[in-house]
Structure 1
Amino acid sequence: MTIQVFGAGVGRTGTYSLKLALQQLGLGPCFHMEEVLQHMPVQVPLWSNALNGKPDWQAIYGGYESAVDWPTAGFFRELNAAYPSARFVLTHRSPESWADSFGATIYTLIGDRYNAPPDMKAWLEMAAGVIARTGFPEGLDRDALVERFVAHNEAVKKTIPADRLLVYEIRQGWEPLCEFLGVPVPEPAFPRSNDRTEFWDLVAGNGRR
């Protein structure tokens, strides 16, 4: 089993909905930050090594057929080189609405990581490092977040060959995603999940739901 699809979109662009959709299309299990939360003793050191320039993609993604969200999105260049036949989905949304959502969830969480429970601190430090690496260090205001979000998306589009990249909004539903992946459109409605309330529930539950 090897990864067939990577998500290059950062958190709060519908990555959890994309995870559910890919799994529904038979491209699962799908790796998401939730997987890191559920397997912190194994996954946090692996991603910390990746941050230090020593990734072990086989160890990270073993048993998965797709991967979305951070930390994956922060390594799209390396993953493009390591998996030259994989396809990439760049989830995006209005930069302003993304900045508001990111600021009220992930950015708040990592900004307050020094007050987190001890068993969460290593994960939060790793996450903060990945997010900063992607272009979002601490201390940015809303305008800067908007600017960096646009810059990330443009970098993805310049890096990934057009025939292997789908620029996609979750509200578009099944059709463009299924056409890109060459699979039939399923009958069930497109999954939509992980609003701001669900985000905090997920973190509070330490990824177990």
Structure 2
Amino acid sequence: MKIIGAGFPKTGTKSLHAAILKLGFGTVYDALENAVYLQDEWKTIFEHGWSDEIFKKMYERVDAVVDAPVFYFWEDIYDAFPDAKIILTVRDNEDVWFKSLKQHMERRDKILTLHLLEWFSPSWKRTQVMRHNCGEIIYGDRYMFDSKWFGRKMNEQLLKLVYRQHNAYVLHKAPKTKLLVFNVKDGWEPLCKFLDVPVPDEPFPHTNFKGGIVQHWINTHPLVLKMKNEMKITLPSILFGAAMLLGVLLYSKKW
């Protein structure tokens, strides 16, 4: 483990993910990788607690971690990997952050494929334990990361308070020589200086613009493509089974 992302979602974590890969760090675990590859470990952590040994085993072959739920456990992961560097991604202010979060979640709710995955992909359903625990413990809303059909209510004051408290805690507790407070608008220079790597001769990546990363993942991410293939098998099977049951019931009534 070389880099621990301690920044809240919607602070440029997807852009940081892309930048870290471009800088030559091989394996980066984002929220999706954690939810799929490490769902059992996170279930244990949320329900029974954790230790340095658990995190060492989880991330022994991973170069960097970003986004949920690792940003919330940054200090404990750092205890397991004390040579790692910590990056706290931030927005210009908490109003900008909340607006981005709200926009992301509302756009996410409009994606029909995501609703269907929650119902008909076994792999997606298995991520529910981590999603519900993250929502409840971090945001105070157990169903924060579930898709909402009929509108989403978000407690702006509470969410801003949680964001503010988290950033203050990181600034207070993280070793100053190991911490970079990073706004992705600042580009390559501060990040490359902090990581002691050359500045690439290309623009800094800016991904997940206005919440577009979810649709991009649905179209391209190998883990989500696998879930979509599961859905293509599960959904027709359920519909066929329901049609057969209906046929049997109607036939029984007829006779």
Q: CA deviation at 1:36?
A: 3.3
Mapping of residues 33-182 of structure 1, within 5 Å: 33-36=31-34, 40=36, 42-52=37-47, 53-54=49-50, 56-93=54-91, 94-106=93-105, 116-117=118-119, 119=122, 120-134=124-138, 136-138=139-141, 141-182=155-196
Return structure 1 stretches of 4+ with deviation > 6 angstroms.
107-110
Whether the aligned pair in 1 keeps the contact of 2:39 and 2:127 (CA below 8 Å) is yes
Whichever residue aligns with residue 151 of structure 1, its letter is Q
Mapping of residues 11-50 of structure 1, within 5 Å: 11-36=9-34, 40=36, 42-50=37-45
**Residues 63-122 of structure 1, C-alpha deviations (whole Å, 9 max, x = no match):** 321111112101112112111121000001021121122234359969xx9993253233
Give the aligned partner of residue 193 of structure 1: 207
**TM-score computed with the length of structure 2 as normaliser:** 0.70
Identity %: 26
Q: SS at 1:6's partner residue? A: strand
Q: Distance in 1 between matches of 2:21 and 2:10?
A: 19
**TM-score computed with the length of structure 1 as normaliser:** 0.84
Q: CA deviation at 1:6?
A: 0.6
Whether the aligned pair in 1 keeps the contact of 2:18 and 2:205 (CA below 8 Å) is yes
Q: SS at 2:88's partner residue? A: strand
Tell me, which stretches of 5 or more residues in structure 2 are unaligned?
Answer: 142-152, 226-255
Q: SS at 2:197's partner residue? A: coil
Tell me, which stretches of 5 or more residues in structure 1 are unaligned?
Answer: none
Greater helix fraction, Structure 1 or Structure 2: 2
Q: Distance in 2 between matches of 1:4 and 1:107?
A: 34
**Residues 121-148 of structure 1, C-alpha deviations (whole Å, 9 max, x = no match):** 33133123124333x1117511221121
The farther-off stretch of 12-21 and 117-126 is: 117-126
Number of positions where the alignment pairs a residue of Structure 1 with one of Structure 2? 201
